Amino acid sequence: MTDVARIVDPQKAATDLNVQAVVTGRVTLRGDSLLVGVELTDARSNRNLWSEQYDQKLSDLLSVQRQIAGEVSSRLRERLTGEQKTKVAKGGTGDPEAYQLYLKGRYQWERRTRESLEKSRQYFEQAIARDPNYAMAYVGLADYYIVLPDYAPVPNGEAPPKARAAAQKALAIDDSLAEAHAAVAGALQASFDWNDAVREFRRALELNPNDGNAHQWLGLTLSWMGRSDEAITELKRAVELDPLNLKYNSNLAQVYRNARRYDLALEQHRKTLEMDPNFGQ
């Protein structure tokens, strides 16, 4: 049995995201069954608006997501227009197995070891094979190539073109996908095209201001350009959006160090190691 939990203060999350209500949940994996507990909370009064338990097969994950989204929308009395429904569906897939492969790829990508990155590539490519129009799977593949030279003996000039090709494929499917613009920017950054990379990161954040990965990579790019104050702002925002993300926390320490704010860098490194003493760059 696997139990995935993260302690979240609904009121703080609502403040960070500038929303009036938040959905929190707990996921427990038992064999091939998925137990999901969900709560909808009014952040202004900290009052529970709705809660539900879902016990489904792992293969039904996409239908569970749609059911939860529908019930939350109903409770909030939201009526999405046809255009809004189309926007929500963009970048995704209707194939449950492709979605699971993508999630496995993301998990391995976040671990950031040579072995886990190779597994992430395999999962992303398998997701694409299942659904050739799955834009986010192409984004995942682009992200793999963007970080690969930091963890494997690959010529730095070899990976960025592959990253950009995968990101451009995602954009061809959906040019309003923030993650795809961030992946294009990451490929440009890896090729040292700093100004073009910053422009694409800004475009990604226009489309999705809460994309922590875009904030993180933009911050690193600005730091390498010597724009330290802006870099720190971006990395701090990434950490605010995902406080338990080890890479965001570690890279915040890096931009502090690049800015020669060594006390803050040391403190941030210690915070990161407190979350996971075995975490490596």
Q: Which CATH number fits domain 2-79: 3.40.50.300, 3.40.50.1820, 3.40.50.10070, 3.40.190.10?
A: 3.40.50.10070
Prediction pTM value? 0.67
Helix (H, G, I), strand (E, B) or coil at 244: coil
Instruction: Give the domain ranges of the chain.
Output: 2-79, 92-193, 210-281
Helix or strand or coil: residue 221? Answer: helix
> Is-contact 33 57, C-beta < 8 A?
yes
As beta bridge partners, residue 3 has 28
Residue type, 55: D
DSSP-assigned letters across all residues of 100-157: HHHHHHHHHHHH--HHHHHHHHHHHHHHHHH-TT-HHHHHHHHHHHHHGGGTS---TT
For 176, residues 6+ apart whose C-beta sits below 8 A from its C-beta are 87, 90, 207
**Residues 111, 246: Cα–Cα separation, whole Å:** 9
pLDDT in tens, the chain (281 residues): 444 445 566 666 666 666 667 777 777 767 777 777 777 776 666 666 667 777 777 666 666 666 666 666 555 544 444 444 444 445 678 888 898 899 899 989 888 888 999 999 999 999 999 999 999 999 999 999 999 998 888 887 889 899 999 999 999 999 899 999 999 999 998 888 999 999 999 999 999 999 999 999 999 999 999 999 999 999 999 999 989 888 899 999 999 999 999 999 999 999 999 988 877 65
Q: How are strands ordered across the β-sheet holding 2-4?
A: 2-4, 21-30, 33-42, 47-57
3-state secondary structure of 158: coil
Q: According to CATH, what is the number of the domain 92-193?
A: 1.25.40.10
CATH of 210-281 given 1.10.390.10, 3.40.50.300, 1.25.40.10, 3.40.50.970? 1.25.40.10
